[in-house]
Chains A and B, each alone.
Chain A
Amino acid sequence: MSVLLDVRGLKTTFPVGAGQIKAVNDVSFTLGRGEVLGLVGESGSGKSVTGFSIMGLLEPPGRITGGQILFDGTDLTKLGQEEMRRLRGRRIAMIFQDPMMTLNPVLRIDTQMIEAVTAHRPVSKAEARALARDALGQVGIPSPEERLNAYPHQFSGGMRQRVAIAIALLNKPDLIVADEPTTALDVTIQAQILAEVQKLTAEQGTALIWITHDLSVVSRLADRIAVMYAGRIVEYGDVAEVIGKPHHHYTAGLIGSVPSRNRRGSRLAQIPGMTPSLLTLPDGCAFRTRCARADGDCAVMPELTGQGAHWHRCVHPNTQVLA
Chain B
Amino acid sequence: MIGWFVRRLLQSVFVIVAMTVIVFVGVNVIGDPVAILIAPDADQAERLQVVQSLGLDRPLWEQYGRFLYGALQGDFGKSFVFGQPALQIILERMPATLELAFCAVFLAVVIGIPLGLYAGLRPRSILAKTVMAGSIFGFSLPSFWVGLLLIMVFGVQLGWLPSSGRGMTREFLGIHWSFLTLDGLTHLILPACNLALFKVSLVMRLVRAGVREVLPQEYVKFARAKGLTERRVIFVHVLKNIMIPVVTVIGLEFGSTIAFSVVTESIFAWPGMGKLIIDSINLLDRPMIVAYLILIVFLFVTINLVVDLLYTVLDPRVQHNGEG
Contacts and interface: CB of A to CB of B under 8 A. Distances in A.
Interface of A: 55, 57, 59, 81, 85-90, 93-94, 96-98, 101-108, 112, 115-116, 119-120, 151, 153, 164, 167
A119 B224 CA distance: 11
A19 to B, nearest CB: 20
Contacts of B314: 106
Contact of A101 (B218, B236, B237): B218
A89 B219 contact: no
Nearest to B224: A57
A9 B316 CA distance: 46
27 contacts: A57-B221, A59-B216, A85-B227, A85-B228, A85-B229, A87-B227, A88-B224, A88-B226, A94-B225, A96-B218, A101-B218, A102-B218, A103-B219, A103-B222, A104-B223, A104-B241, A105-B241, A105-B317, A106-B240, A106-B316, A107-B237, A115-B226, A119-B227, A119-B228, A119-B229, A151-B316, A153-B317
Contacts of B49: none
B244 interface: yes
Contacts of A101: 217-219
B225 A55 contact: yes
Contacts of B232: 115, 119
Nearest to A108: B316
Interface of B: 216-219, 221-230, 232, 236-237, 240-241, 244, 314-317
A203 B316 CA distance: 36
Q: Is the interface of B mostly helix, strand, loop or mixed?
A: helix
A107 B241 CA distance: 9
B226 A98 contact: no
A92 to B, nearest CB: 9
Given A81-B230, A105-B316, 7 more contacts: A59-B216, A89-B228, A104-B223, A104-B241, A106-B240, A119-B228, A119-B229
A102 B227 contact: no
B89 to A, nearest CB: 45
Contact of A116 (B219, B227, B315, B316): B227
Nearest to B314: A106
Closest 8 CB pairs of A and B: A89-B227, A101-B218, A88-B227, A89-B226, A94-B225, A151-B316, A116-B226, A102-B222
Nearest to B242: A106
**Centre residue among B216, B225, B244 by max chain A CB count within 10 A:** B225
Contacts of A112: 223
A81 B218 CA distance: 20
Most buried by A among B219, B230, B236, B314: B219
Contacts of A106: 240-241, 244, 314-317
Nearest to B216: A59
Contacts of B217: 101
Nearest to B315: A106
A43 to B, nearest CB: 16
A47 B224 CA distance: 20
Contacts, number: 81
A108 B315 CA distance: 11
Contacts of A88: 224-227
B225 A89 contact: yes
A66 to B, nearest CB: 23
Contacts of A90: 227
A151 B317 contact: yes
A81 B226 CA distance: 14
A104 B219 contact: yes
B214 to A, nearest CB: 10
B227 A86 contact: yes
Contacts of B225: 55, 57, 88-89, 93-94, 96
A96 B221 contact: yes
A197 B236 CA distance: 29
Nearest to A113: B226
Contacts of B218: 96-98, 101-102
A289 to B, nearest CB: 32
Contacts of A115: 226, 228, 232, 236
A94 B219 CA distance: 12
A4 to B, nearest CB: 18
Given A87-B227, A104-B237, A96 B222 contact: yes
A20 B314 CA distance: 44
A97 B222 CA distance: 11
B246 to A, nearest CB: 13
Contacts of B237: 104, 107
Nearest to A90: B227
B271 to A, nearest CB: 43
Contact of B240 (A86, A104, A119, A120): A104
A105 B237 CA distance: 9
Contacts of A119: 226-229, 232
A93, A101, A106, most chain B CB atoms within 10 A = A106
B188 to A, nearest CB: 35
Contacts of A102: 218-219, 221-222
B241 to A, nearest CB: 6
Contacts of A89: 225-228
A142 B123 CA distance: 44
Contact of A107 (B221, B227, B236): B236
A284 to B, nearest CB: 35
Contacts of A105: 219, 241, 316-317
A86 B226 CA distance: 9
A65 to B, nearest CB: 21
Contacts of A59: 216
A94 B316 contact: no
Nearest to B222: A102
Nearest to B217: A101
